[in-house]
Structure 1
Amino acid sequence: MKKIKNQNELLRVAISVGEKYALNRGYTGFSSTNSSKEKVESLYRLLVNDNMIQPLAEDSEDLASMKVKLVKWISKQLPENHPLLN
């Protein structure tokens, strides 16, 4: 799988924005003890449930693929001139 430019930084932004979205949806929030893996999986499942991203095939549902889905999702949400997209 080809790595997306600024993937790690975009993933951080996706998690931050995703957490705010989850709170607005009524999720009680992530605790400070939640790992990044747990956050990625929870946000991925929430966005799939809300039909905001296309679900992965069941046999390819792994952490790396979920991260890429979140990065692609946030890339579409950010303005075109955002520094992380250039």
Structure 2
Amino acid sequence: MKKFTHESQLLKKAITIGQAYATARGYSALPANVSERDKVEALYRLLVADKRITPLAEEKQNGPEMRHKLVIWLAKQLPDDHPLLKN
């Protein structure tokens, strides 16, 4: 599993972009009181259903793995010289 120096910041950005993607797809915005864990799971499942990311194996579908998968999804969309991708 590739480690990112700024993984927590990348995750926050991935959640923000993922929520915008979900809204553009016609889903209602997630309420502010929804936990980060639930947001990550909902966005992960949406991206898997839309075939934007490859699904994790059943036994690896847990919080840390899903968070990391969202970070990888975002990292692939950012330019190589983006400050959050620098070590």
Q: Cα offset for 1:18?
A: 0.3
Q: Cα offset for 1:12?
A: 0.5
- Identity of counterpart residues, as a percentage? 49
Matched residue, 1:9: 9
Partners of 1:13 and 1:42 lie apart in 2 by 15
Matched residue, 1:27: 27
Q: Does 1:55 align with 2:52?
A: no
Q: Cα offset for 1:45?
A: 0.2
Matched residue, 2:38: 38
TM-score, structure 2 as length reference? 0.94
Partners of 2:81 and 2:47 lie apart in 1 by 24
Paired residues in the alignment total: 86
Q: Does 1:76 align with 2:80?
A: no
Segments of 5+ residues of structure 1 without an aligned counterpart are none
Q: Cα offset for 1:2?
A: 5.7
Runs (4 or more) in structure 1 with deviation over 6 Å come to none
Q: Cα offset for 1:81?
A: 1.5
Partners of 2:16 and 2:79 lie apart in 1 by 16
Over aligned residue pairs, what C-alpha RMSD do you find?
A: 1.1
Which range is displaced more, 13-22 or 76-85? 76-85
